[in-house]
């Protein structure tokens, strides 16, 4: 129950544009439920928004094998693509976006993939 509350509080902080508070909330939830894929993935997303890319990627890597939902896995792959893109890792970004699209086609992910392809050297 405490983990669910932390998840909701963290999401509320993200909606307010406060990734630092969201990271704290998700981390609080992970103290109670250390293998909760949603908490891990959401904290990874908050790290991404805070431009803490190493921590974002670590959480996303950790969440993927724990998350049973293909839709949620697709979102995690999309976020990993964003991390790679911010790092200038074109091939890794394309790979992550393709994995996301294989799980769940989505126009936002298609646009990201196409943007990275168009920026080819």
The pTM is what?
0.94
- Among 82, 106, 105, smallest CA distance to 94 is for 82
What the block records as the tokens of 100 is: 């996301």
% of residues, the chain, pLDDT over 70: 99
pLDDT of residue 1: 80
Sorted by where each begins, the domain ranges of the chain are 1-57, 68-121
Which CATH number is 1-57 given?
A: 1.25.40.10
Q: What is the pLDDT of residues 28-54, one digit of tens each?
A: 999 999 999 999 999 999 999 999 999
């Amino acid at each position: 129950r405490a983990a669910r509350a932390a998840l909701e509080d963290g999401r509320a902080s993200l909606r307010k544009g406060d990734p630092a508070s969201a990271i704290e909330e998700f981390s609080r939830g992970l103290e109670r439920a250390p293998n909760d894929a949603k908490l891990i993935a959401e904290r990874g997303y908050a790290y991404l928004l805070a431009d803490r890319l190493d921590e974002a990627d670590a959480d996303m890597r950790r969440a993927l094998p724990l998350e049973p939902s293909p839709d949620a896995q697709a979102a995690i792959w999309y976020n990993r693509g964003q991390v790679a893109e911010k790092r200038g890792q074109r091939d890794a970004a394309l790979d992550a976006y393709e994995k996301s699209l294989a799980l769940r086609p989505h126009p936002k992910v298609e646009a990201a993939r196409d943007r990275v392809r168009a920026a080819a050297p």
